[in-house]
Every structure is written in C-alpha cells, then in structure tokens.
Amino acid sequence: MLTQTQTTYAVKQSSALSDAEIRTILESWDVADWKDMRTEEFRHRFETSEFHLLSGPDQQMLSIARINFKFKVKIGDVIYPIAELVGFVAIEILKGYGKILLGRIKENLQNRKIEAVGFCKNKSSTYYESCGLRIFYNAVKYLREKKDDEWFTPTEDDDIISLTLDNPAIALFEKLSDENPAYLLFE
C-alpha cells in the first residue's frame, strides 16, 4: 500500500484525458452501455465534468471520481449550483486510496469554493463518514427528479453525502421533508 506522499493527484477535463485513462475509467465504472464508448464520445458526453485521479509512482490509476457541473438543486424557490460527485471508484480496494482521493477532492473543491454533494446506499454511508464527510441519512426520498416530463423520487440511492456544503446549505438539506423536497435539475 502506498502512502499519500507516494501518490499523485490530478484534476483533468475530459479533453485532457489520454485514451488509456478513458479506457481505465470506463472499465472501472463498469456501465454496460459505456463499455465500448469511443474517446470522442466520452470527451463530448463529459465535457462539463472534471475528473479527479489518484495515481501511483508508475502512473497506474488507483482511484477516480468525476465532478458533474451540469447539476443544480432547487429547494423552495431558490436554485443552488451544487456540483455532484459521481463515478467514485477505488480501483485497488481496501488500501485507503479512495479515502486519500476523497480528502484531496474535498480540499480542492473547498479551496475553489465549490459546494458538492454525492449520493450513496445506506451500506456505504459509514465509509463516507469514516472519510470525514457528513451524511444526510435516508434523505434521497425527499428528492425529485424529472423524467419524461414527470417528477419522481430517485430510488437508486438512500443517502445524500455532503462533500463540501457550507453551513447555510447544510441547514437546507437538514430540513428536507415530504413537505419541503429538493428538485434535481440537470442542464
């Protein structure tokens, strides 16, 4: 296992990723529909995202994550530009690389004053808490997402992760309820 000082952290736009990095990302994400995605399609699909990469001394990727900037949350009458942590994967599991990457992402986004959330199933929440992140347990049921012009409650996840929310935003997420839902807006 490598220590934090033996790893390299990089943030790249999709246009700056090499073909090999894109292949590794797609293989790590393990999304059947994306397995054969061409480099040009990947770069276009994720052109408004940035990729956070943790690599070892020989440049092998250890952990990856994507920050989606085509994401906003509407709570009440206010729309908040909050980035979304997605595609977080430790390629080598149980070695602490995911925790290192999350720490670096959190520091990077805080330095840039970017608020971000993520989503997870209940079984993963203790992991994110062990990384120093705040969890809004079972709060996904208070989210609404539009599909085919209808609002519905997403069911893939259970909990909301506060990666870099500031105190006013934390207060808003704490108040989510059936009477006070949040609407996910994708550009």
What's the pLDDT tens digit per position in 39-97? 999 999 999 999 999 999 888 999 999 999 998 999 988 899 999 999 999 998 889 99
CATH number at residue 179: 3.40.630.30
Name the β-bridge partners of 2: none
Mean pLDDT of 132-144: 95
For residue 131, CA distances in Å to 38, 47, 73, 105, 128 come to 34, 28, 24, 11, 5
How do residues 32-53 score in pLDDT, each as one tens digit?
A: 899 889 999 999 999 999 999 9
How do residues 169-179 score in pLDDT, each as one tens digit?
A: 999 999 999 99
How do residues 17-34 score in pLDDT, each as one tens digit?
A: 999 999 999 999 989 899
Residues 6 or more apart whose CB falls under 8 angstroms from that of 96 comprise 1
User: What domain count does the chain have?
Assistant: 1
Name the β-bridge partners of 89: 64
pLDDT of residue 79: 92
Residue 185 one-letter amino acid: L
For residue 113, CA distances in Å to 10, 53, 160, 164 come to 18, 20, 19, 8
| Mean pLDDT estimate for the chain | 93
Residue 187 has pLDDT above 90, yes or no: no
Q: Can you give the residue range of the structural domain that contains 168?
A: 4-186
